Each structure stands twice: as structure tokens, then as C-alpha cells.
Amino acid sequence: MRKRRTFTAEFKVRVVLEVISGAKTQEEVARQNGIRVENIIRWRRQFLKNANRVFEESSPNHEGEERIAKLEQALGRKTLELEVAKKAFSIFSQLRDGG
């Protein structure tokens, strides 16, 4: 049984850009890289369909950074609450023990 080849995203982008630039035909690029023209057609379609995401304001990385900042703020609040609770417990323990 023949093993299915996998291609990296970088490879696919390079292949698609070669075709889109017009420097080479799909057939030339396919022959040079030992891939099927159908793969190039599918990759090109995916590339063009998702190209607008490059310029979106809310990129996945930006959303991740925002989420991290919110989680850090929440952690800071919880840490402060924990410190206050520890102090209150310490004070009440001293009062209860007659100190």
C-alpha cells in the first residue's frame, strides 16, 4: 500500500505563489515538485479563499493575547483575594485564641 505524502504549509504557499505570480504554469510547478496539478488547484483555491484573513484586525494571535491579558488580570484579583483571606484568617485566629 502506498503511503500518502503530506506537505507543509510553507511548501504549499511557495507552490501557490509560484503559480499566482505567473512565473510558471501549474503544470511546470507540478512537474518540478513531483505533485499533481489537482493539488495545486485545491491549494490555490484554499489560499485565495482565506487570503482576506491576513488583513483582518482581530487575528487569532491578537485574540490569544487579549485572552492571556484577561486571565492574568483575573489571576491577579484572585491572588489579592487570597492574601486578604489569609490575613483575615490570621487576625480571627489570633482573636479566637485570645491573643
Range of the structural domain that residue 72 is part of: 9-96
Q: 32: closest CA among 14, 51, 20?
A: 14
Instruction: Give the position of cell 505533485.
Output: 35
How many folded domains does the chain comprise?
A: 1
Burial of 99 (0-12, 13-18, 19+ CB in 10 A): exposed
**pLDDT of 60:** 61
Q: What is the mean pLDDT of the chain?
A: 89
pLDDT in tens, 18-63: 999 998 999 999 999 999 999 999 999 999 999 888 777 655 677 7
Global pTM reads: 0.55
In a domain, residue 2? The reply is no
Cα 12 to Cα 73, 74, 98: the distances in Å are 40, 41, 75
In a domain, residue 73? The reply is yes
In a domain, residue 55? The reply is yes
